[in-house]
A and B are shown apart, each in its own frame.
Chain A
Amino acid sequence: MKSFLALPWVDRAFVPVAGTLVFLLLAAVFFQLNGYAPLQIFSQMVQGAFGNAFSTNTTLSKTIPILFCAMATALPARMGLVSVGAEGQLYFGALTGTAVVLAITAAPFWELFPAALLLALLGGALWGAIPGVLRAALGVNETIVTILMNYIAIKIVEYAVYGPWKDAANLGWPATIAFPDAAKFPSLHLGALSSNWALVLAVLLAIVLHVLVEKSRWGTGLSLLRSNPRVARMAGLSYTRHAIAVMALAGSLAGLAGWVQAANVQTHLQPDISSGYGYIGFLVAWLAGQNFLRIIPLALIMGGLLSSGDALQLFAQLPFSNTLVMQALLFISVLGVGAWRAKHRSVA
């Protein structure tokens, strides 16, 4: 048994496989206790997430912001910064991108889209850089600052869409004008599946970041800063500069999520452009152990869980809060198994 567990591929697959099994077991117990047949619910959940083109498309559209937000969390974590700020960066990126749309609404795609995307990136970067600066210059805890700044960003967006940016034609509804197609990520069709190019961008970025973080001098520098900032100084790395740059870069990733949510999903700037994707991304990043490749499938699973929640609510009359319970169970199972494994491996 021990030697089997020591095989490299078994070792690597142990936590995901055992974690999933524990999760399914816990979820089955949960449904059983609530008077549902677990197997039936599971099959409905899979149907709801990937059963047909419509549900798969829904899943994909939820996967995109989760993927960006998970990357926005994982990147600072590589240098030891715990950021919970993807939600706020998403909102602020959407806000700054929207400013471009409102300023040059009639511009053609090749002007409007890059300009809006760039501003969304910069907005997210700014929202990320502020806690980075506070951390580096004053030693203020970045976790607290990022959480608090989430509320500020959401409030600013609310102010904009209830106030100066509200489209009068909307009557009472707090939202801007509908965005022209020229502001959106171009759509992408593959058979019955449809999504947009943000999905491709997100996956590509995850792969590029994976290579950079795992193989490059830069990624090694980040690990060094996480392991021992003092020693990093002996290597010529500045904690201050890295903290600010990494937080800004992470913020810009969340800003991308903001733009795809505002432009492609809602097609307006409005108060609820994110269904907590920043926080779900945080969970995904930590479930994946800050590994950018592992983030991709986990984001897809999380997206599936969310869209199956919608489906269960509609068809099985299950309250949506079940989805939250499922998320929590998944988190507990994978982290619990991971911790158990780490403890027993170090003893072995």
Chain B
Amino acid sequence: MKVELIDISKRFGPVQANDAVSLEIGEGEVLALLGENGAGKSTLMKVLYGYYRADSGQVLLGGREVDIASPRDAMALGIGMVFQQFSVIPALTVLDNLLLAYPDAPLWHGRGNTAKVLRLLAEFAPGVAPQRLVSELSVGQRQQVELVKVLNLDARLIILDEPTSVLAPEEVQRLHAVVRKLADTGRSVVFITHKLEDVRACAHRVAVMRVGKLVAQADARGMDAAKLVTLMVGDASLKPVAQTAPPASAVARISLRNLRCSTESLSLEGIDLDIAPGEVLGVAGVSGNGQDLLADAATGMVNLQEGDVLLDGEVLHSRDTRQPHDARQGYIPEYPLKNAVAAEMRNSLNLALRGLLRLPLFPRWAKLDARADALMERYDVRPRQSGLASGRLSGGNLQKLVIARELSEPRQFIVACYPTMGLDLHATQAVYDELFRQAAAGAAILWISEDLDDLLRYAHRIAVLYHGRIAGVLTAGEADRVRLGHLMTHGEAA
């Protein structure tokens, strides 16, 4: 099914998210849609999916103009979308989830439907057992179920919104294979991404958006990486990050000693880590091995059952005292919308949050707004409106807002979870620059990431988290993908 978008424009208040964008997607084609944060990629695709109504412009399917007023219309026309936030129901089995989403689902499902629903699951997600609860599945498997749900609606065009940003490395490869298979079976795929490896693994064609406009289109097959990078970021070349020298001091700035705490599904079982001033300690691991809990425990966000966190030898967090608001520490948690900002409150307040208790009883809000304007300018948060509710920012801009708050002031101890998630190459470099500047000034950095390449490039040491414990710590010299991979999947050195 050939899809043509013609002169699509969409404005949100002062922001022109899409400005007369025309784009074609051929049958059986994988189109990688690239662009920086807030470039308008998601908006364009949400217009195609009927989630937003365009202010002007046309959509043609197989040459015929169609009116897509809602996702329901889009699905009826064979257009499906897999979002970054999944809509599968964790408490139900895979089969139940698929049956629920089946078109015109009857009140009572017979055997016939079950077989129909499962046919595509077997084809595209052979490793996922239909009787398993979705809550037991990995992120990648949930994504596969989500995709099969869409395919069951006879989707001929599948839109994937940054599908690899949430996946572990081996899951990424599995997804690439699935995308290629979708194209081989005649379906069209739009793959929204920031990652060059996605483009190289499965795209036929690339389209690049910048500030609401489509600025480049090219054949992706056979294109080299340097050319792709130029396409994505324009002419500006990426400057190499100034990596800080390994720390000279052997005395720990921050010590995690025997940290134990637990949630319903997972527990940390005695984490011991020392980080020297100026040291960047990377934490690798397959997602779901306790990364978020480790970050929360190290920053005093959750109750500790045992152990403590020492800053320069003094207790910062322990069983009895927690100081999550301590100004000496910075914390960039995963999922900023849920974990790091108050969505209904203005940007200026979210930026001033760390010092809220130090403000006078009647703060001078205008002063905070001015400070916010300066920070948003410096960290390139768009739109640059200190009065806008933070929940209205796009994912990448929200991440920048949190980084502006946590890294704009000198810190002694920084915990950063996937700090570059959802950011384009420029913004990613900027975040690394900020982190390493803090390190150079003496901060101890605990950096949780799933990007092994970046970890190997920038971290002084890499610890591997496996089932809530540290499976091993490798220095930059001894770490490589094979060793890390083995620790990540087996919990012990080879």
Contact = CB atoms under 8 A, between A and B. Distances in A.
B353 A235 contact: yes
A126 to B, nearest CB: 27
Nearest to B53: A347
B356 A237 contact: yes
Interface residues of A, number: 19
A228 B323 CA distance: 18
Contact of B361 (A217, A226, A234): A217
B428 to A, nearest CB: 24
Contact of A227 (B340, B345, B354, B363): B345
Contacts of B265: none
B360 A217 contact: yes
A215 B363 CA distance: 8
A224 B345 contact: yes
Interface in A230-276: 230-237
Contact of B356 (A217, A227, A228, A230): A217
Interface string A200-225: 00000000000000011110110110
Contacts of B344: 223, 226-227
Contact of A218 (B345, B350, B361): B361
B325 A233 contact: yes
A234 B331 contact: yes
A6 to B, nearest CB: 12
B201 interface: no
Contact of B325 (A215, A216, A235): A235
Contacts of A220: 345, 349, 356, 363
Given A217-B356, A217-B363, A220-B356, A231 B339 contact: yes
Contacts of B342: 223-224, 227-228, 231-232
B64 to A, nearest CB: 28
Contacts of B357: 217, 235-237
25 contacts: A216-B362, A217-B361, A217-B363, A218-B361, A220-B345, A220-B356, A221-B356, A223-B342, A223-B344, A223-B345, A224-B353, A228-B338, A228-B341, A228-B342, A228-B343, A230-B301, A231-B339, A232-B342, A233-B324, A234-B340, A234-B354, A235-B354, A236-B324, A236-B325, A236-B356
Interface of A: 215-218, 220-221, 223-224, 226-228, 230-237
Given A216-B362, A217-B363, 8 more contacts: A224-B342, A224-B356, A227-B343, A228-B341, A230-B338, A234-B301, A234-B325, A234-B331
Interface of B: 301, 323-325, 331, 338-345, 349-350, 353-354, 356-357, 359-363
Across the A-B interface, give the 8 residue pairs with the lowest CB-CB distance, nearest first.
Answer: A236-B325, A227-B342, A235-B356, A228-B342, A227-B344, A235-B353, A236-B357, A217-B359
